[in-house]
Each structure stands twice: as C-alpha cells, then as structure tokens.
Structure 1
Amino acid sequence: MRRPRISVSETSLWRDRPFRLTWTSGAVSQFGDRVSEVAVPLIAIGLLDASAAQVSWLTALAWAPNLLGIVLGAWVDGRRRKRRLLIVTDLVRAGVLLSLPAAYLWGTLTLGQLYAVALLTGLAGVVAGCAWQPLFARLVPPSSYVDANSKFSAARSASFVAGPAVGGGLVQAIGAPVTVVVDALSFLASALLLGRIRVDEPAPAARIGAAAPALLRDAREGLAFVVRHPVLRASLGCCTTVNFFTFLAGTGLVVLFADRVLQLSPGAIGLTLGVGSTGSLLGALTAPWLSRRIGVGRAVAVGAVLFPAPYALAAVAGGPAWAAAGCLGGAYFLVGLGVMWFDVNLNSLQTAVTPDALRSRVTGAFGTVNYGVRPLGALTGGALATTFGLRATLVTVAVGGVLSVLWLLPLPIPGIRSLADLPAEMPVQSAGLSPLDNPV
C-alpha cells in the first residue's frame, strides 16, 4: 500500500505550519482539561458533598463511552474529514462544559448534571481519539513518530504542571463551577486553530466483503487485527492491566485523598499536583533519549513499572501539610516520568505497526478494551476506598499496576530497538484475515 504524501520535513517538525497549529491546539485543550480535572471533582466534593463512591462514578462515566470505541472507530474510519470531526468534538465539549457554570448561577446544579457532563464529554473524546491517529499519520513521517509523540506529550505534560496549579488557585478564588469556563474556552480555541489547518485527507479505502453490516464488519476487522498482531496484542494486555489498577485511584480519589485525609486546601492540592507533574514534562522530553539508549521496547517496559509503583509512596503521605504535600508531589513526579516513557514509546510503536486503512478501527478497538476497563477500575476503587480506606487503595494500585509489565516480557516487544528496525510486514495469526489486515 502506498504511503500518503508527507507534509512534514523529517528534519524539523516545528517548521511545518500544520504541525505547529495541531500541536498548539492540543496544548491549549490539554491545559483546559487539567483545570477541569481539579475543578469538577471539587464541585462534587465541596458543593455537593459527594462520597468516595459518588466521585468514582464521576470518573467511571467519563470513561464509559470508550466501551463503544470499537464501533465508533469503525464509523470514523469511514469518514473522510477527520480534521472536521475533531473540530466538532471540540465545540460539543465546550458547550457541554458551559452548562455547569450556567446551572450553578441559576442554583440548579446537581450531581446528576455532573454525571451527564462527564458522559457526554467522554463520548466526544472517544470520537476525537479515533479521528486523531489518522490525522497524526498524515502530518508526520514514520521516522519522526517518536519525536512528534514526544512533542505532543511534552505539551500534555506541561499542562499537568500548570493546569492543576491554576485550577486549584481559581477554585479557591472564584469557585469550582466558574473555573470550568477555562476548559470550555480552551476547546473553543482548539477548534479555531484546527480550522486553520490544511491537510490532504484521501477518501477511505473501499471495504472488502458484504457478509455483515458494514459498521460491524469494520469493527470486527479492527479488533481482529489488534488481537492477532503480536505487538498490539502484548501492548493491549499491558495497557489494560495498568489502566485498571491506576484507575482504582484516578484523579478524583487522589483529590479526595488530598482533601479529606491530608487536609490540603484547594490551592495546595492544585500546586502539589502541578509541581509533581514536572515529572511528566521531563519524561516526555527524555523519552526519545531513553529509547535510543535502551531501545523502544525496553523503554516501554521501564515505563510500565515506573508508572504505577510510586502510588505506594503517595499512600504513606502524612504529617504537616508541607510534608504531606511533598510526599504526594514526589509520588506524582515519578508517576509522570513513568507514564510518559511508557506512552511516547508505545504510541509510536503502535502507530508504526498499524496500516493506514485500519487506523481509526484499531484505535477504537484498542480503546474499547484499554480505556473501557477504566470505568470498572474507578468503580472498584470506590468500593475499595469505602471498605478499606484510601491508603490501602493506593497500595493496591502500585502492586497490581507493576504486574502489567509481565505482558511485555515475551518477544517481540523487548527486542525492538528502534522503529527503523521493524520489518515491512510483521507476521500475524492468519485465521481469516482480509488483505487489509497486513501492516505496511
């Protein structure tokens, strides 16, 4: 299959205007998301007196739409204009978020509305995620996947540094519901930036076979490719395991832990999470260096361990406010370092082994399992926290999450040194695959 025309110079991604605009769009919306990740749980905790179980439901509903990812990915693969889909989802999320401050000002804000906002923004996010990888592959040449993912992840990591601190400060100054306006405005800005991008988006490839309804058939092809491809199958097992365990805590229960157990103020919570998240920025910037030093596959494995393990450090936080905040911030620093080493290298590897004609379907199928387990993790975490306490839940996150690395130990992932070493075609199990199911 012929590779698409590449719009980005292999030597300098920053020189390409579409890449710069896309990067800026993502950076702005990620910053807004980090503000909301502090503000929305504090609406539930501070204004609506939500319990640990209710906060966990908020997280679960935000991720529940990923259970539809396999079908949504197939639907997105059939759409030509992925950029337009990203713009629409930005506008939808902005409108939904603005309903929170509006309801607050009218005195009608309820936990049910918070749940609805979490569900709808989550659904728009799944569609956006399925549309993102095909657009990424049109903007970036394969040799620059790790570098480009590093740049996007650096923006995301910077949002984890600044966003919680700004969010916590705004919550303390103007209240949590009004603070959500920042996230809504970030989505509007993102949509405007994406609207200025011009990128060649070819018509979707013709579908093969007509034995089943087209959408279900396409969804099945995406899932079959993930399950039968050795790299995608191993990475799916690892991601699903680490996501289940890390979502036992999730952002909501971490904020609850900081608020009710450590007794930190909203400003202190935001500042602690923001300072701790400098590890994410460092991880994003050093992920290409790590992959060159030890290989892409081994860098993924190192990240898989370092990502969940520091939750055990967070579990022992206590004492004076400065000591508790320092311990929690240190744990978050290591978590961020690990998650970026994991994400940057694994996302690049997955993009490299996925054929163009299947990108949205593979993303949707992968996300259905990988992200779909997050609501289950969040609800389980709420039950654990209610029964055994928040500290015990954080220890469970660390122990269970580290076990995810067992999926990566067998070949081929540990032996992959660089994306350039990947064969043009990597063998997959051949039971009933169509011609689209061979990576190029």
Structure 2
Amino acid sequence: MSPLLRNRTFVLWLIGTAQSQFGSALAGIALSFLVLHQTGSAGQMALTLALTLLPNLLMPLAGALVDRWPLKRPLIGAELLRGVLQLTVGGLALVWGEVPVWLVNAAAVLTGLAGLFAGPAASAAVPVLVAPDHLAQANGLLGSVGRGAWLLGTLAGGWLVATWSPPVAIVADGVSFLVMAVLLGWVALPDRPAPPSAPMSLWGDLQAGLQVMRRSRLLVVAPVIALLLNASLAPVTAVLPKLFETLGGAATGYSLFLALESAGLLAAGLVIVKVGHRRAPTRLISLGLMVTALGYAALWQWPVTGVLLPGAALLGFGFGLINIPFQTLLQQQVPQAYLGRVFGVLGMVSSTGMPLSLLLVSPLLDRFPLPAWFGLAALAQGLGWLAWQWGRRPTQPAERVLGAL
C-alpha cells in the first residue's frame, strides 16, 4: 500500500475532494441545461459561466490573504458559502419551477467569490500534507480520484437531468459542499513555514509573490500559457451543449462527453501516480499540450458523435498531463510561504481568459459554425506548446530565488 494511503489526514483530504468533485459535476450539467432550457441561448449560458469566473480577477489578493491565515479558515468558509448558494438556487427552482436568470447570475458571482479563497488554499495545503518526495504521487492521486468522482457525477448528472430535473442535481451539489466542509474540520493541517521577512501590507505581500515569479522562467511563462489555453477553452465549453442538441444527443450526449473527458483525466492521474516520480513535470506538460492540440484538431475536422466522444477521452488525458504536473512543478519550485500568492496569480491569469473570452464571443456563438471553435482551440494549444519549449530552458532553483529576494 502506498504510504500516502496510510496517512489519515491525506485520506480525509482525498475523500473530501472526491465528494466535492462529484457534486460539482452534477451542478455543472444541471446549471448549463437549466439556463439553456429557460432561455434557449448558448450565449446566455456563456454569460452565466463568465459571471462565475469573473471574480477570479481578485484571486491574487485572495492568495495574499491565504498566506497570512491558517489554511482551514478559507477552505471551510468557501465550502459553506458555496453549499448554501447551491441549495438556495436548487431549492427555489424546485419550488418555483423556473429561477429568474438574474438570480442565477447573482448566485454565480457569489459562488465565484467563494472560490477565490478555496483554489489557492487547496493548492497550498498539499505540500504540508505530504512529504516532498510524495508530491507527484499525491497530486496524481488527487487528480485521478477527483476525476473519477467527476466521472460518476457527470453520468449521474445526465441521468438526473433527463429523468428528474436540473434543480435536483443543483441541490445535490449543495449537499456535497457541506459534506466537504465537515470533512475539512477533521483534517489536521500543520503550520506552514513563516515568510523570510515580516508581514507587509497586502499590496506589499502581493509584490513579494510577483518577485518570486519573475525570478523563474517557468513561473513567467506558466500564466501566459494558462491564459491562452483557457481563453480558447471557454467558447468550446459553451457550444458543446448546443452542438449535442443539433446531433440529437442533448443532455445525455453532453454528459457522456464530459464523462469520457473525466475518464481521460483519471487515466492521466493514474499514469502520473505510477511514473510521475521518474518523469520530469516539464516533459509531461509538453506531451499534454501536443495531445490536446491534436484532439481539438480532430474535433474541428470531424464534429460528429463518433469522433466527439473518443476525442473527449483524448482531450481529458492531455489535460491531465498538463494540469497535474503543473501543480507538482509549482509546489516544488515555490517556497511554501509564497504558495498562496503564486497560485493566486496563476489562478487569476488562467481564469481571466475564460470569462473575458466568453464575454467577447457570446454574441458570436450562435452566428458562426460551432466546429470552428474547436479549430481555434487547436491553434491555441499549438501556440502554448511553442511557448512551453521556451519556458523549459534551464531556470533558477527555488533556493536561488529565495536568496535573491
């Protein structure tokens, strides 16, 4: 048995993450089809998704606060707030039959604000839960188990939407966030090392995090690639439900696409658990960018169900080879006292691409051929691969970064 699975605290963290991912998958499908069924517009659905992500513009400031607080505080608070919001939207939809779009959008903004703190805090927590030698395996396990739960959630979400209704799935998601909050209460998180200098103003703390990033070529290029890739992913995410409706698949086809994508991510996580400690994260990321570029190109050329579904698994595998090693690479390169700020900056830059892209293209989604957005994503992945080759050149290790501050 892996030493990680004998670590009670890590196992609780693993179970809680899986529970939250399961509920989030349910709500992702439910919210998409709730808005689509009420408005009939892919553009309106894109706007709702954009409002969920727009608060991420403030994530660097949230990351600076995370580095000042005990990690449990932002983690549990975010789970409780998101749970209450989902239960409110789902409950009102069950009672009223339809929820005004403005109310759905308001809940989307508040959900995004809660996620501001959960993202950097969760990424900063892993290095204090496991030994440095087990980071790659821990991230691989978290990625594979989380995506396995997401896979079950997408299958259950499609069934619930088709058999019952979107509000039922949204309520289930709210319950999952509350369960995660309870599990987090049982997790023992050791204190992180203090920063090498005394706390400054919030803006000063943020500048110190940016200085850490400027000292490393990889940390400079990582946000650029994340921005490029998420900006291209946004319209693809928005047009998929409508594309499956034109193909006759509706909610079932869309949920199956997401399930197969999650299966690919799960497979990538298992591969990283097995070989991640023997393979440089930079090489795995490069391979993932190539795989996703080819996957999007195939969907662009052949936008039919027989290609969309296996293409989803290929894309998921590529995403796993990018995202999981990215987590490990940053956790290895960045001192623990700065992890909240660095992950906050990276999360803001990458997430900004999606809402801004959605806001810009939402008026165009219903006017251009849907497969054209796959071609755009393939181009963005290819450009990301080229940028990563530049970023992979030798860079300063974390010790030299610290010494230069």
Quote the residue 2:218 is aligned against: 231
Aligned to 1:351: 331
1:77 aligns with 2:67: yes
Q: 1:161: how far off?
A: 2.0
Matching of residues 334-345 of structure 1 within 5 Å: 334-345=314-325
* Structure 2: runs of 5 or more not aligned: none
After superposition, what is the alpha-carbon deviation per residue over 1:49-89, rounded to whole angstroms, capped at 9, x for unaligned? 2422211111211111111011111112111x212321111
* Residue in structure 2 matching 1:257, options 236, 243, 250: 243
Distance in 1 separating the partners of 2:240 and 2:173: 20
1:202, distance to aligned residue in structure 2 (A): 5.0
| 1:207-286 paired onto structure 2 within 5 Å | 208=198, 214-250=201-237, 252-259=238-245, 261-286=246-271
Q: From the superposition, tell whether residues 37 and 414 of structure 1 become closer, same or farther in structure 2 (CA, over 3 Å).
A: farther
Instruction: Report the CA distance shift for 1:436/1:44 in structure 2 as closer, same or farther (over 3 A).
Output: farther
Distance 2:211 2:49 in 1: 29
Deviates more, 1:116-125 or 1:219-228: 219-228
* 1:288-437 map, 5 Å: 288-289=273-274, 291=276, 295-317=280-302, 324-410=304-390, 413=392, 423=397, 425-427=399-401
Using the size of structure 1 for normalisation, the TM-score is: 0.85
| Correspondences of 1:15-26 after superposition (within 5 Å) | 15-26=6-17
- Mapped to 2, the partners of 1:113 and 1:76 lie a distance apart of 29
- 1:102 alignment partner AA: G
**What letter matches 1:286 in structure 2?**
V
Cα displacement (A) at 1:29? 0.2
Which residue identity does 1:138 align to in structure 2? Answer: V
Residue 107 of structure 2 corresponds to which residue in structure 1? 117
Deviations 1:248-304 (A, max 9, x none): 322x32122212x22213233323431343211111111255656653211111112
CA contact (8 A) 1:303 1:342 kept: yes
Partners of 1:327 and 1:253 lie apart in 2 by 16
1:149-174 Cα distance to aligned partner (Å, 9 max, x none): 00000022213322211101001111
**Matched position secondary structure for 2:371:** helix
3-state DSSP of counterpart to 1:198 = coil
Of 33-42 and 107-116, more deviation after overlay is shown by 107-116
Q: Give the letter for the 1:310 counterpart.
A: G
* C-alpha displacement of 1:206: 7.3
Which has more helix, going by share of residues?
2
Matched pairs, number: 404
1:195 is paired with a residue of what secondary structure? helix
Q: Could you say which residue in structure 2 is the equivalent of 1:97? A: 86
How far 1:227 sits from its partner (Å)? 3.0
Distance 1:267 1:248 in 2: 20
TM-score w.r.t. the length of structure 2 is 0.92
Structure 1 contact 18–198 (Cα < 8 Å) conserved: yes
Deviations 1:358-377 (A, max 9, x none): 11111111222122222112
> Which digits, 9 at most, give the CA deviation of each residue in 1:84-136, with x for residues without a partner?
32111111001001111222213561111121122111211121012112321
Matched residue SS, 1:371: helix
Which whole-Å CA distance do the structure 2 matches of 1:262 and 1:414 have between them?
Answer: 45
State the SS of the aligned residue for 2:344: helix
Structure 1 CA distance for aligned equivalents of residues 398 and 56 of structure 2: 31
Superposed CA RMSD = 2.4
* Of 134-143 and 24-33, the range deviating more from structure 2: 134-143
Rate the CA distance shift 1:317–1:95 in 2: closer, same or farther, 3 A. Answer: farther
Bigger drift between 273-282 and 187-196 goes to: 273-282
Give the whole-Å Cα distance in 1 for the aligned partners of 2:171 and 2:51: 21
1:306, 1:334 within 8 Å by CA — same for their partners in 2?
yes
1:168-183 matches, within 5 Å, as 168-183=158-173
Deviation at 1:305, TM superposition (A): 2.4
1:65 pairs with 2:55: yes
Partner of residue 122 from structure 2, selected from 120, 132, 143: 132
Instruction: Report which stretch shifted further, 295-304 or 268-277.
Output: 268-277
The answer to whether 1:37 aligns with 2:28 is yes
- Contact 2:53/2:354 (CA < 8 Å) preserved in 1? yes
Retained in 1: the 8 A contact 2:226–2:349?
Answer: no
User: By how many angstroms is 1:424 displaced?
Assistant: 5.7
Residues in 2 aligned to 1:283 and 1:43: alpha-carbon distance in whole angstroms: 31
Equivalent residue number for residue 53 of structure 1 = 43
Classify the secondary structure of the residue corresponding to 1:314.
Answer: helix
The AA in structure 2 aligned to 1:233 is V
Superposed displacement of residue 204, structure 1: 4.8
Moved more, 25-34 or 130-139: 130-139
8 Å CA contact retained: 1:90, 1:191: yes
Distance of aligned partners of 1:77 and 1:230 in 2 relative to their CA distance in 1, 3 Å threshold: same
Change (3 A) 1:241 1:268: closer
